[in-house]
Amino acid sequence: MKNTLYLISNEKISQNNEMFFCDNLDMKSTPEGLNKYFDVKVIARKSKVSRCQKIHLKNIKTFSSIFSYLSEVINLPKNNSKFLIISLTPFTFLAGIILIFSGQKPFLYLRSNGYDEYKIILGTLGKFIYHIMFITITRFSILISCREYILRGKKGYIVSPSQLDSSWKENYSEPTIKKIKLIYVGRIKKEKGIFSLLNLIKDQSNINLTIVGASEEDKKITQSNVDIFNIVRDKKELIKLYDKNNITILPSFTEGYPMIILESLSRRRPVIIFKEIEHVIENRIGIFVSNRNFASLLEKINHIISNYNSIQESMKINKLPDSESFINQLKKILSKN
């Protein structure tokens, strides 16, 4: 008989009849993968807007208010159950405090540097708020992260997140390099640096940017050299979008372990990032670092286009983690304690 694993998240999930949907692919793939080994039950926030990724899991409860969300956590059966908190936000922080006062020691999976994210969103006050949450809950939790520095010296397990499977390595398509065709896959949010990037390339008719990740709430972008796609449900369609472009760009101010880099490298598309997140390079080939100004960005683009074939050839030696190995890492950690 499987152990029960409660996955507690801040992500928003929509419901249509008895089916559940999210936008963040992690919110789909992680509980689905872990459900092979545990009886996974998800607690999340209720979305008023329809989401696009169907979660193949029935044991999901969503809540509109923080009071109903926390009330559910209070009433969870605590015996013979495990608790995995995904990311640190006010909702998940309070849920974690409830579990700790109930005698539990939850797993806390930190996917990104909340200090930087909260500072970008709320300024110095945001960084202080995150610090209080971090130092409080991490004292009583079992920590998991994708980066050592995110743990800030605290003991924890390091995992290698991935959503890649064999299909990402099949049917490679060679791009045309006659025109600069950038692609960004991710959320349209301030901390993701997308508005900074749009400002850099405005009025640059020789550069086209494809954005994949808009939701129904995103109606802000009207630049003529930008094409916007909603979040793509079909993996094959997402692969085609990478293949239609020649350079992937990740303009984020802060990142933990971005999937866009793994996806792009698996399709042998070079990646441009900015200096704030150069830690994501590790030992991978095909990632180029730009300063956050147009002259530096154009220099990196021209270098890639001029040396495209040799860069693609060198990228073949990259060893990228896959989704199965990531889920196995989490399973082993959750099974130990």
Strand 4-16 and strand 39-46: pairing? parallel
Question: Quick one: pLDDT band at residue 244, thresholds 50, 70, 90?
Answer: very high
179-217 pLDDT per residue, tens: 999 999 988 888 889 999 999 999 899 999 999 987 655
Domain identity same for 155 and 180? no
Domain identity same for 219 and 311? yes
Residue 79 has pLDDT above 90, yes or no: no
pLDDT at site 230: 82
Q: Which of 141-150, 188-197, 267-276 has the lowest mean pLDDT?
A: 188-197
281-297 pLDDT per residue, tens: 988 999 999 999 999 99
Domain identity same for 248 and 131? no
pLDDT at site 218: 63
Domain identity same for 50 and 133? yes
Instruction: Report how far residue 272's alpha carbon sits from residue 289's, in angstroms, rounded to the nearest whole number.
Output: 6
Domain identity same for 80 and 203? no
Question: Quick one: pLDDT band at residue 233, thresholds 50, 70, 90?
Answer: confident
pLDDT at site 238: 92
* Structural domain that includes position 232: 166-315
25-63 pLDDT per residue, tens: 889 999 999 999 999 999 999 998 888 889 999 899 999
Instruction: Please state the rounded mean pLDDT for residues 105-131.
Output: 92
pLDDT at site 336: 82
Question: Quick one: pLDDT band at residue 120, thresholds 50, 70, 90?
Answer: confident
Closest CA to 81 of 111, 102, 67: 102
Domain identity same for 115 and 235? no
Domain identity same for 180 and 223? yes
Domain identity same for 9 and 152? yes
Angle at 218 between CA 215 and CA 219, to 5 degrees: 135
Q: Which of 92-106, 225-239, 295-309 has the lowest mean pLDDT?
A: 225-239
Calculate the average pLDDT of the chain: 92
Domain identity same for 183 and 307? yes
Domain identity same for 59 and 189? no
Half-sphere exposure of 317 (CA within 13 A, CB side): 7
15-35 pLDDT per residue, tens: 998 899 998 888 999 999 999
pLDDT at site 53: 86
Percent of the chain with pLDDT over 70: 98
The enclosing domain of 214 has a CATH number of 3.40.50.2000
Instruction: Please state the rounded mean pLDDT for residues 127-131.
Output: 95
Q: Which residue has the higher pLDDT, 220 or 30?
A: 30
Residue 303 has pLDDT above 80, yes or no: yes
Residue 337 has pLDDT above 70, yes or no: no
pLDDT at site 217: 53
Domain identity same for 95 and 184? no
Domain identity same for 156 and 12? yes
Instruction: Report how far residue 63's alpha carbon sits from residue 70's, in angstroms, rounded to the nearest whole number.
Output: 9
Number of domains, the chain = 2
